[in-house]
Amino acid sequence: MDKDRIIAAIEFLKDGQTFKLGDLTLGRTSGGDILVTGWTDYLDLQNLTKRAALTELKETKELFNKLILFSSDLKEFTTDKRIEYHLAYEDSGKAGIGVCYEVGGQLTWIIELDD
């Protein structure tokens, strides 16, 4: 990952804009916390299970943590902010559909999935 791209992401976040950084989309809540959205690899939402979604949400968290380890600027920017991890499904470029999110270790399902 390019450190200049991370610096650009931080500037976008400061302005309240979202920024695509690799496989993640970063944004801000109205309260100033950080939104980290990972996108499911499933092409058909009906094939996504809770187990698979949890695995992908875990991968989203791990990827963001690697970015923080890589960039002291990002680490500093996020230090006093709560991180919301989201998993979403992209409907062929038409829309993003939230699957689940985790805040402070608390998981919330947005859609119903099979186990």
Residue 95's pLDDT is what? 73
The string of DSSP codes covering 56-93 is HHHHHHHHHHHHHHH-HHHHHHHTTS-EEEEEEEE-TT
Task: Indicate whether 98 belongs to any domain.
Answer: yes
Whether residue 115 is contained in a domain is answered as no
Is the C-alpha dihedral spanning 13, 88, 1, 63 positive or negative? positive
Q: What pLDDT, on the 0 to 100 scale, is given for residue 2?
A: 85
In a domain, 35, yes or no: yes
Nearest CA to 56 out of 92, 93, 101 is that of 101
For residue 40, give its domain range.
Answer: 3-109
pLDDT score of 45: 87
pLDDT of amino acid 49 = 95
Return the axis-axis angle of helices 50-70 and 3-14, rounded to nearest 10°.
110
If you average pLDDT over residues 6-15, what whole number do you get? 95
Q: Is residue 104 part of a domain?
A: yes
Determine the pLDDT at residue 90.
Answer: 87
Q: Is 59 among the domain residues?
A: yes
The total of structural domains in the chain comes to 1
What pTM value is reported for the model?
Answer: 0.92
Q: How confident is the model at residue 88 (pLDDT cuts 50, 70, 90)?
A: very high
Instruction: Please report whether residue 61 resides in a domain.
Output: yes
Mean pLDDT of 85-96: 83
